[in-house]
Amino acid sequence: MPTAIVRICTNQGMVIAADGRERRGYTEIASEKVQKIFQLPNAPVAYATLGSTRMSIKGDSPNSVDLIGEARKAQAVVSLDECSDLSQYVERFSKPIQQSLSLWKTGNSTLFPPGPEEPPGNTIAHFFFFGYHHGIAETVDLRFYHRYHILCEPLITPIEVKIGYPAWIADSGARRARFRSHPGQHSEMKPGTIPG
């Protein structure tokens, strides 16, 4: 099963949930407890990851890249307060991660992971941002991808925020109950507040 990420937005706040599965290759399950949701410090914004967030040839550095580690470095130097909206923050956030991917690819002849094919190329990783900027609910998809193993500029796509359960949950009380009781990761954010 691929990563499952759900965001529910209500008038009282937003909840994000994700599974914890990590795979090695296509069939081997490496873990069921990998963190995929990360809170920005001092902000009601979190991001959830999907895809190949760690890549290596064999062993560790310099032949590996850890996109989660690079994301933590990026969030330490990019200020949400200096951005007009979440899309601008994500654009600034993406630059050091893109640079790390470029350096990794330049430093070895290994191919990028195949990843799912989504036009206009193959996905390396998605970072889905959810939260509130200046009290306004926003969602932005940051997608790193390649075309025929040539790294492309990241795609930054704002996503409309709708109040209520996603259609597949709202259709059935049983599905909603299963969603609420599933053990996994979640993050709750309230409009205009900083989660503690």
Q: For residue 31, what is the domain's CATH number?
A: 3.60.20
Q: The domain containing residue 78 runs over which residues? A: 5-189
Q: Is residue 38 part of a domain?
A: yes
Helix (H, G, I), strand (E, B) or coil at 103: helix
37 vs 165: which has the higher pLDDT: 37
Domain-embedded: residue 135? yes
In a domain, 194, yes or no: no
Look at residue 12 in the predicted model and tell me its pLDDT.
78
- The C-alpha atoms of residue 48 and residue 130 are separated, in whole angstroms, by 8
23 falls within a domain: yes
Task: Give 59's DSSP letter.
Answer: S
- Residue-wise pLDDT tens digits, 134-163: 888 899 999 999 998 889 999 999 998 877
DSSP state of 25: T
Structure confidence at residue 24 as a pLDDT band (50, 70, 90):
low
Tell me, what's the pLDDT at 59?
47
Residue 90 included in any domain:
yes
Is there a domain that residue 195 lies in? no
Classify residue 196: in a domain, yes or no. no
Q: Cβ contacts of residue 109 below 8 Å, gap of 6+?
A: none
Assigned token pair, 183: 């053990």
Look at residue 61 and tell me whether its pLDDT is greater than 60.
no
Is there a domain that residue 77 lies in? Answer: yes
Contact 32, 46 (CB under 8 A): no
pTM, full prediction: 0.77
Number of structural domains found in the chain: 1
| Highest-confidence segment of 50-54, 79-83, 113-117, 159-163 | 79-83
